[in-house]
Each structure stands twice: as C-alpha cells, then as structure tokens.
Amino acid sequence: MAQFDPIEERAVEMLDDLHLEAVRAETVGDDDERFEFILWNLCLRGVPVIERVCATRGKALGLSEQEIELATEDAAARMLLRLSRPEPQPQVHALAAEIAAACVERSWPSEGGGGPRLSPQTPKLRLVSGLTEAIESGKARPNDWESS
C-alpha cells in the first residue's frame, strides 16, 4: 500500500461514510494513489456489518460455522469488487448488508439440490401431566376442528 502523510491518512479516517464514499468515487478512476487507502478504510467499515449479517442470517438458515465463515470471506471479496466500480455506491453499511445477505442465501452444497431447508432446531414439546384425567372429567376438551 502506498505511504501517505500521516495527517492525510488521519483526515481520511476521520471522514464520515458519505464523505468517504464521495472521495472513493472521485479517486477510483483517476489513477489516484490514495484510492487503495480509501478502499481499505471503506471496507473496514463494511466488514463488521458483513460479519454480523452472515452470522445472524447464516444461523437462521441453518448454515454451519464453517459455511458462515466462508460466506463472510466471499462477501468481503465481493464488497471490494463493488467498491472498484466507478459509479457511486450506496452507503457502505447498506452495501455490505446487501452483499452479505446474498452470499449467505446462495445455494450451498450441503443443501443437497437446493430443496427446502428445515430448521435444525428440534421442536420444544412439553408433556402436560393429568391431561387425560382432565378430559375424562370434562375439565378440558380435546381439540375439535369443527368447533374450534
């Protein structure tokens, strides 16, 4: 990575997301040596979002820890690609979330043909003691689809 005046580096780090994106769009096509540093800073702001989205959505979809980590790596590389485009990009957190969601939701080999994925959690059932006696004594009624 190119070396900069520390004051300039600090100035870049202190920019808010919108300003940093504006500087990225300005430097991306100009062969500007600051571009790499700007890209690095934008990515560092997007990575925590990627990590969080992949972890939460990945768990909800039943992906393994390893699959979640792979989706995180995939999303990080794709965010770099997106931020290399000359067109203005959405705010980095929104961009990172969008890319991470797409990476988690792609079809995974473990899905076995992309069929519907069932929740990995076993249903929590609770036995109610004394239910039979309650039904017999009329205190409770069995479920009846016609009357309920």
Partner 1 sequence: MSTGDDAFERVFWQALNDLKQGTDKPIEEYLRLVPREDRTELSRLLADVLLARGPAPVPDAPESEGYRRAVAVVDGVLGSRGSAGILPGALKAMRNARGIEPERVVERLAADFQVEGEEGRRSLARNYHRLETGSLLGSKLSRRLLQSLAAVFEVDPAELLAAARPARNGPALKSVPAMGRSAGERGPASDLDRASLPDPEVELVERLFHGGPDA
DSSP at 129: T
- Ramachandran area for residue 128 (φ above 0: left; ψ -120 to 50: alpha; else beta): beta
Q: Residue from 12, 23, 63, 68 that binds partner 1 (CB under 8 A)?
A: 68
Please tell me whether residue 47 binds partner 1 under the rule CB under 8 A: yes
Q: Residue from 13, 26, 105, 133 that binds partner 1 (CB under 8 A)?
A: 13
Please tell me whether residue 101 binds partner 1 under the rule CB under 8 A: no
* Minimal distance, residue 126 CB to partner 1, in Å: 32
CB atoms within 10 A of CB 87: 7
Please tell me whether residue 72 binds partner 1 under the rule CB under 8 A: yes
* Minimal distance, residue 107 CB to partner 1, in Å: 10
Burial (CB count within 10 angstroms: exposed 0-12, middle 13-18, buried 19+), residue 116 = exposed
Q: Which residue is listed with tokens 């393994």?
A: 64
**What is the contact surface with partner 1 in residues (CB under 8 A)?**
1-2, 10, 13-16, 19, 28, 31-33, 36, 39-40, 43-44, 47-48, 50-51, 54-55, 68-82, 84-86, 106, 109
